Amino acid sequence: MLKECTQHGYFRAESCPVCGAQGRFLMNDRELDHLGRVMTGILRHFPEKYGLAVDERGWIELPKLVQAISGHHRGYHWLRVHHLVGIAESDAKGRYEVKEDRVRATYGHTVDVNLDLPTENIPESLFYPVTTEEAAIVLEVGLKPSDRKKVHLSRTAADAKAAGSVRTPNPIILAVDTRKARDRGIVIMQAGKTVFLVDAVPADLLRRHELPVDEAPPS
């Protein structure tokens, strides 16, 4: 469920994880899951289905988004801006960014956007999951986007394994040398709490990550 604490903001639990207050109820788990899927779909993939358009940087005005969702889904006649802000600000992966009266997805786009995300404090290694069949090819030709506009890298090998497990039970984890990448002028942006974006990664900056997924490489 989604609730709001007057002192510590939005949270997804029975009580505030900071102070233990019960908070104000905003929506149940079913509504939270469905609205999150709708919101993500509009911001990343199909704004036109709801009569909307993201701007160059991926933003949509929150009042317009509320109106479009409640207009298409009559069960959400109660929906207001603060409900969508709550979904965005309580998201554990950092999939959204809210600024003033606008919201955007920070990664995962199939629509054309030119994201202006942070490029500082990038870890010296990032990670990417591949299948056994893909590993040799990727290590030969490098990483390029497939169904998304950019390559999505993970902060840790464990994060990459979790992402890759959607496609294969035991993904092979590749490590990206981000220091060399940035020395070559390759721009890497931090999109979510564990997700980083890059246009492509040359093959010579990739290697198999041989350590257990819960161990980081030496810095």
**Domain's final residue, options 77, 105, 133:** 105
3-state helix, strand, coil in the chain (%, to 5): 30, 20, 45
Q: Give me the number of domains the chain comprises.
A: 2
Q: What's the whole-number mean pLDDT along residues 115-144?
A: 94
Q: What pLDDT does 34 receive?
A: 97
Do 64 and 144 belong together in one domain? no
| Residue owning tokens 């497939």 | 146
What pLDDT was estimated at residue 210? 84
- Cβ atoms of 95 and 163 within 8 Å: the answer is no
- Confidence at residue 149, expressed as pLDDT on a 0 to 100 scale: 87
Domain co-membership, 80 together with 18: yes
Mean pLDDT calculated for residue range 35-44? 97
Residue with tokens 């394994």: 161
Q: What is the pLDDT of residues 48-104, one digit of tens each?
A: 999 999 999 999 999 999 999 999 999 999 999 999 999 999 999 899 999 999 999
Q: Are residues 100 and 18 in the same domain?
A: yes
Residues 130 and 61 occupy one common structural domain:
no
Task: Confirm whether 119 is domain-assigned.
Answer: no
Does 68 share its domain with 137?
A: no
- Percent of the chain whose pLDDT exceeds 70: 96
Residue 219, pLDDT > 50, answer no
Q: What is the pLDDT of residue 218?
A: 44
- Asked whether residue 75 is domain-assigned, the answer is yes
Residues 62 and 90 in one domain: yes
* pLDDT band, very low/low/confident/very high, at 18 (cuts 50, 70, 90): very high
Query: Which of 76, 105, 134 is a domain's end point?
Result: 105
- Do 129 and 138 contact (CB within 8 A), yes or no? no
Q: Is residue 82 part of a domain?
A: yes
pTM, to two decimals: 0.80
What CATH number is associated with residue 81? Answer: 1.10.10.970
Q: By the 8 A CB rule, do 171 and 134 touch?
A: no
